[in-house]
Chain A
C-alpha cells in the first residue's frame, strides 16, 4: 500500500459518503498510478474502505477498464463497433497487430504498448476511431495509424 492511498480513500469517501460509492473513484485513482489492479492492490482497497476482499474483487472484475493484469504504459483501444467496422476498423486492428508484432488483447514484450478491442466508443463520427490512454484519435487512416503508436499522449 502506498502511503497516499489512505488520503485518497478519505477524499473519495468525503466526496461520495453514501453506500460504497467511493469504490469506483478510488479504484480509478489507484489504477492511474499503478496501471493495473493487482491482487495486493485489491486487498489494500478493501482494507481502506472496510469492505470484504471478494466484494472489491467482484466489482473490479465487472468493469472492462479495470485491469487485473499488467498492461502497457500506452493502451490503444481500437473501436470495433459497427460504424467503425463499416469504415475499416478491422483492417486498422490488423495493421496495428502487424506493426507491433502482437495480437489484439496482448502487450508488447517490453511492456510498452497494449492493443485492445473496444466496444462502441460513442464516437462513430470519427470512425474508425481509437483511444490512446482513453484520449480519442480519429478518424484513423493507415497513414495516420502510426500516430497511435508514437504520438504524444497525456496519461
Chain B
C-alpha cells in the first residue's frame, strides 16, 4: 500500500519533470541573478516574462542566488561543467573569470549605439586588456552620512577634513550613550571602510608598480588615525564586532554621529528610523578627495551555446523603463545616461550627495586573487584595531603577504 503510494508519487514527479522539459524545446538561457534585496528576483522574473512574450522562442531561466553564496555557487557550477549562460558578478572577481577563460569578451556584440547608453566611468572597470568583459549592471558610490541632530546637540559643524571629524567626534562622544564615529571592523567590506581613509589620505591600494600600497606612509597615517579614534573612545567600542550592517543599525538607533555608507541605506533609514535627521556629505579630506565606486558586472560565459539569445535578453533588460525600476527599487546609482538624466537623480538631495563623488571615484583594482588580498587586509586591520600589532607592523606584514600573493 505504502509502496504503491511512493511509486505513484515518484511517477507523477517524473511526469511533471518530463512535461516541463518537453513543453519548451526552444532555446533556454540560464541567468544567475545576485540577490540585492527581496525585490531583485521578482524584478528580473518580470523582465524575463516580458521578454518571453516578445520572443516566444527563447526561454529565460532565472536563478536567484544570495550574494554571500554567489561565488561558491558559480565555482561549483563551473567545476561541475554546468555554468549558466550569463550572470551578475562582483566586478572585483571579473579578472579571475576573464583570465581563466570563463568570461566571454562581448565587444563583437556591443553595437556603438548600445555602448553609448552607458556612462563611461562605469564601463571602464569591465575592460580588461582592451577587451570589454562585461557590462555594468549596478553601481554605487560611497559617502559620509551624519546624524544632524547629534551634530546640532554637540554644537559642531559637519566635518570637511579628518581633523574636523576627529574634533566633532570628540564632542559627540561626550553626549550620553553616543559615539562620534561608527567604524566597521567585521566581515564584508571591512577593508573598504579603511580604503576611504587610505585614499583621502593620499594613499592607494596598489602602488604604480603593482605592489601593495599598504606599507606606504599614507596608509600608515590612515590606520594610525583610526586606531587613535578607537583608543580615545571616539568610535563605538570593539569595532571588530561590528559588521557593515551592525554599524548602520547603530546609526538607525541614533547612537552614532558619523558613518560611511552607500545609497541603499537611505530607504532603510526612511522606513526604520523615520524620525532620524541626516545629511549626505563627501568624505573628509586630508590630501585629496576620493570615494569608492563599486560596480557589479553582467557577464556572458564563454561556454554558453546560446550567446546570441542571451545577448538579446541583455539588451532587452537595459531599456530605460526597466533600468529606472531597478535603480530606484534597489537604490543604486544609474549606470546609463538616460536614467542619470532623470530629475530624481539630479534633484534628490541624498542621491545627489552620493553621485557627487563619481567624477573622482576610485574602483577596486581589477587584479587576480582579489578576495584573498582583501582578506589579508581585513586580517591586518582587525589585528590593529584589537591592538594585537602596531599599525606599522600589521600593515608591513600585510603588504608583504599581498606582494607574495601577487607574485611580486
A binds B: no
